[in-house]
């Protein structure tokens, strides 16, 4: 059975249309998960709200510990890396990574960057093959097919590929670069635009994104049904 890791990165705790100043990206990610569960209740889900409970920012001690071979680590290093161990463990266990995130100032929220920094980790999600100096990095999460569902919300419009503002969108490209580096290569993108514009433009964008989410759930569930060997147990 596939396992889902569901992450919300919005600083807004509520849901747009329901709560004052609620989050559109949370609406998308929770729509995906609820639709998935309604059809495959047997599948497991881990939820982490990093928007409300941000991961720690890496510091000097974290870097020293993470880049020290396990057999040479001092006792204090295990404590420093405990949070990273938990976060990477959740990611390693996942077959589908669902990230609901807003676009903040043309990039990802600080909490999501902190999560990326915790999970892109030598020895856990990436290794180095010193015998191949031209391409030394080995993505450890390439051991099986994994999907990343990136569900975003933007205040402006035109940030999709080919749009007028696409060159200023550093959220999805940054996420893709980091996740591909550790072995996640199957990406699915859905976005709501026009929150700052509001009105009919926003309403149509929300409706279209929700429909895209439902369609994507159908497609991914069909993928796992057609290739049961991809499912983990």
Residue 26 near residue 208 (C-beta atoms within 8 A): no
Task: Compute, in degrees rounded to 10, the torsion defined by CA atoms 60, 66, 72, 75.
Answer: 70
Q: Say which residues have a Cβ less than 8 Å from residue 83's Cβ, sequence separation at least 6.
A: 55, 56, 118
Regarding the domain delimited by 3-230, which CATH topology (the fold level of the hierarchy) does it fall under? Rossmann fold (3.40.50)
Token output for 102: 């807003």
Over residues 9-37, the pLDDT tens digits come to: 999 999 998 998 899 999 999 999 999 99
Show binding-site residues for FMN. 10, 23-25
Q: Which of 128, 127, 125 is nearest to 115 (CA)?
A: 125
pLDDT digits (tens, 9 = 90+) for 75-94: 999 999 999 999 999 999 99
Q: What is the pLDDT of residue 232?
A: 47
Please report, in range form, the residues annotated as the binding site.
10, 23-25
pTM of the model: 0.94
Which token pair is 132?
């191949």
pLDDT band at 228 (very low <50, low <70, confident <90, very high): low
Between CA 221 and CA 229, with CA 226 as vertex, the angle to 5 degrees is: 100
The arithmetic mean of pLDDT across residues 95-107, rounded, is: 97
């Amino acid at each position: 059975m596939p396992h889902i890791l569901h992450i919300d990165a919005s600083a807004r705790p509520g849901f747009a249309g329901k709560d004052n100043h609620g989050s559109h990206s949370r609406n998308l990610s929770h729509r995906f998960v609820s639709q998935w569960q309604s059809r495959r209740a047997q599948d497991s889900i881990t939820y982490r709200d990093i928007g409300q409970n941000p991961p720690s920012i890496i510091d000097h001690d974290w870097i020293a510990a993470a880049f020290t071979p396990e057999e040479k680590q001092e006792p204090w290093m295990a404590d420093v890396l405990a949070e990273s161990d938990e976060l990477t463990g959740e990611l390693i266990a996942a077959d589908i990574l669902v990230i609901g995130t807003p676009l903040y100032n043309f990039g990802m929220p600080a909490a999501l960057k902190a999560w990326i920094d915790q999970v892109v980790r030598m020895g856990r999600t990436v290794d180095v093959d010193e015998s191949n100096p031209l391409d030394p990095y080995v993505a450890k999460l390439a051991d099986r097919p994994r999907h990343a569902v990136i569900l975003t919300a933007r205040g402006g419009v035109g940030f999709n590929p080919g749009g007028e503002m696409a060159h200023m969108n550093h959220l999805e490209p940054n996420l893709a670069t980091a996740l591909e580096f550790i072995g996640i290569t199957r990406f699915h993108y859905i976005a709501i635009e026009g929150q700052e514009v509001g009105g009919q433009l926003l309403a149509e964008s929300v409706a279209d994104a929700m429909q895209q989410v439902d369609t994507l759930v159908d497609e991914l569930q069909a993928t796992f049904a057609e290739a049961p060997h991809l499912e983990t147990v």
